[in-house]
Chains A and B, each alone.
Chain A
Amino acid sequence: MWRALDMDVERFDKMRLTLGEIYEKTYLSQVNRPDAMAYFDNMIAEIHGGRIKELLAAKEEGRPVIGTFCVYIPEEIVLAAGGICVGLCGGSQGSVPDAEKILPRNICPMVKSAFGFKAGRICPYFQVLDFVYGETTCDAKKKTWEILDDMVPTHVMEIPQMKNQSDRDMWLTEVKAFKTKVESVTGKEVTIEELRQATRIMNNKRKALQRLNRLRHAKPTPISGKDVLLIEQIAFYDEPVRFTAEVNTLCDELEKRIAAAVAIPNKNAARVMVAGVPMALPNWKLHHLVEGAGAVIVNEESCIGTRYYKDLMDEDAEDMESMLKNLTSRYMQIDCSCFTPNNERIDQVLKEYQESGAQGIIHYSLQFCHTYNIEEIRIRQACEKEGIPYMFIESDYSPEDVGQLQTRVEAFLEQIGD
């Protein structure tokens, strides 16, 4: 199957095995995980197999398969058109050298990793999809799309930089253009009922993740931060209805755990919240480090986490125009640092800190990320003003700085402990 997808199978095979080993060490070594995690472990085991087969089957039926990189792309529209929206991976050090043959070294590791998966032909999702949809969020992404387009049809949605009325109007136009593009693949117009149904599916998915996040805020927490991160990452490429059901099954189990006072092995683990950039699959570096040092991560204020699911879309609309306005409104609430001003993010970070019962915040940035690195200054000031223990980590995907990060994280945990 992979050969038929024109992949570099020899190389890909090695990477697959390495991923398996890393997964074993990082995830399967945890003790007393909820039983329902088995579904998500299996999603990783089948990440290059089962799900790919589902995508190929969808293509056979003429359903569009669209790759995305950002939570601003409206999944509802793809779903309404009967398509599949796949968030592409960008969290592996393995694909970075492929990108560095072409792109400059000093740009975001996530952009490099995602690009490298295509450049190296080592990702079956990239090979299966019809086209990718990029967005004009940050500079690295914006310019990389121009080069990615040589390798896979790349369309770009213009995301505004501010949230004034003129920006909202522009964005609505972009959303409509996106809808037209998706419809051009299916050959038919999306109806309001289809969009309403898709909205419900997405809202249900978000509600399930919100439920999961609330349950993991219990004291003590019934599930590791790593496991929740994994589920949040799988949300980006799994079939939404099935995924939602499985998350709710897990939540039912977590409710029972909480009632029976069953928690993660170290009930007194320091509770840490992570705020900042997204953590694309298979980037587990920070969670593994922090939880390996004896703490537990209880919240991800990140595009992989709450930024993805904190906002529901208003399902109430009479016609397509109102529906699309609701959709645009919903997506406007995403508080990515690429927007200016982004004051609502400061409030959001403080709010989530309180709600999650965390004892400290680690602001996580990827190397070379200008927007998050500069926004971090104001986030830090706000946390210091509130007396919230705070640490800033900027890193990439390589194992080079793990020892140094470990010392910093341990020192931070000592501070929280004292």
Chain B
Amino acid sequence: MREWLTERAIDVAELLAAVAADGNGGTVVFLGTVRRSAEDGDVEAIEYSAYREMAEPELGRIVAEALAQWPGARIVLQHRLGVVPTGEASLVIAAAAPHRADAYAASRFVIEETKRRAPIWKKERLASGRARWVEGRPAGGER
């Protein structure tokens, strides 16, 4: 059973190796990274927390749904928890398939469903030392 959550910095090469196969014609890697923009103020890091016991199976269900829609695809992901500094990846998805169209589609499906369903929250840590919860989106069940 693959581990979808980690407290460590995500190793992109490890995820690429996990989907590598002779039959792959295209591999898409998505990195969701912590950004700092003018309207966010001095965000130095984001602290991610999760309902771990549900996030693991929910991420597993999302990947299983993608594999059912795009048979022949190989998909892995890791979401990082804890404090993630600006510029570093909070989420990496690697999706490979015999044809690139499926790799792109599967990757897109997984990121959109993860954002919609994963019971994960984030708190901004500002340069001032303050911290504030980021307003999320209402969590959805399966479509």
Asked whether A and B interact, the reply is no
Question: What is the interface of chain B, defined by CB distance below 8 A to chain A?
Answer: none
Question: What is the interface of chain A, defined by CB distance below 8 A to chain B?
Answer: none
